Each structure stands twice: as structure tokens, then as C-alpha cells.
Structure 1
Amino acid sequence: MFDPTIIIAVAALIGLAITATALLVGWRGWLALKERELAEGRSEPERGSTIGAARIEISDLKERIRKLEAIASGVEL
């Protein structure tokens, strides 16, 4: 009645359609998530915790540079 090649082709097309639909739903969800993140970022003022963390990181980097300069000049700490 049906050729096995036709059955395989139809099954492949159905599988492709299901996969494409799932990817599209995931893509739309990811876009919605990013839109919410951008909306939250614009409505809130800059947070102090991120600024404080950046200052601590800069301070740590400066201390590392001082140590490396001391090692390079031959001074023990």
C-alpha cells in the first residue's frame, strides 16, 4: 500500500515540524526573558552593590600589582 520511503519521509517531516516548533517556542521565551531583564534594568537606578563590588575588585587588582612590582624589584613583603 504505502512505500516505506514515503513513510520515512513523512515521519521525518513530522519530526522536523515538531523540532522547529519547540525551537520557536524556546526562542520566543528567551526573547521575552531578555525583554523583561532590559525593562527591569531601565526602570531601576544603578545599584550600589555592583559599584561596591567593582571597587573591591579594583582594590584587589591594585594590591596584586603592588605585590608583583615588589617581587620584580626584589623587595620581600
Structure 2
Amino acid sequence: MFEPTMIIAGASLVGLTIVAGALLRAWHGWLALKRQELERTRASEEHDGGSSIGAARIELSDLKERIKKLEAIASGVDL
């Protein structure tokens, strides 16, 4: 009635089901963590009064102006 092949197949199926369930639970936990991170960054942007992208653009334009001034000084041109 119970052949060794059937027992091994049944045990493998049970083991595969357990592993798949554990991986699915881990996946849902990881997605929940990423959602929390996104909500935290959105909340911090609202509290800061603006986007960090806008601040980065302003800083980038300031750096470009400094580079232009330094290039002008290096070439001997007065601003």
C-alpha cells in the first residue's frame, strides 16, 4: 500500500509547501517594510516643507555658478 516512492513524494510535496509558504510570508514582510520606508520618506518630506530633489537642484546650480567663476578666474577674466 505505502511504497517508498509514494512516501518520498508525499514528504517532498509537504516540504515544498512549507518552504513556499515561508518564502511567501517573507515576501509579504519585505513588501510591508518597503511600504513603511516609502511612507516615512513622504512624511519627512512633508515635515521639511519641500522636496529633497528641489534642494539638490538648487545645490547643483550653486556648484555650476562656482565652477564658472573659478574658470573665469583661471582664464584671467574679471567678473
Identical pairs, percent: 11
State the AA in 1 paired with 2:24. Answer: A
TM-score normalised per structure 1: 0.63
Q: Following superposition of structure 1 onto structure 2, how do residues 28-67 of structure 1 map, counting pairs within 5 Å?
A: 28-46=32-50, 49-59=55-65
Structure 1: unaligned runs, 5 residues or longer: 64-76
TM-score normalised per structure 2: 0.61
The Cα RMSD (Å) is: 2.8
Task: State how many pairs are aligned.
Answer: 64
Deviates more, 1:41-50 or 1:18-27: 41-50
Which residue of structure 2 aligns with residue 73 of structure 1?
Answer: none
Instruction: Give 4+ residue runs of structure 1 displaced > 6 Å after superposition.
Output: none
Structure 2: unaligned runs, 5 residues or longer: 69-74
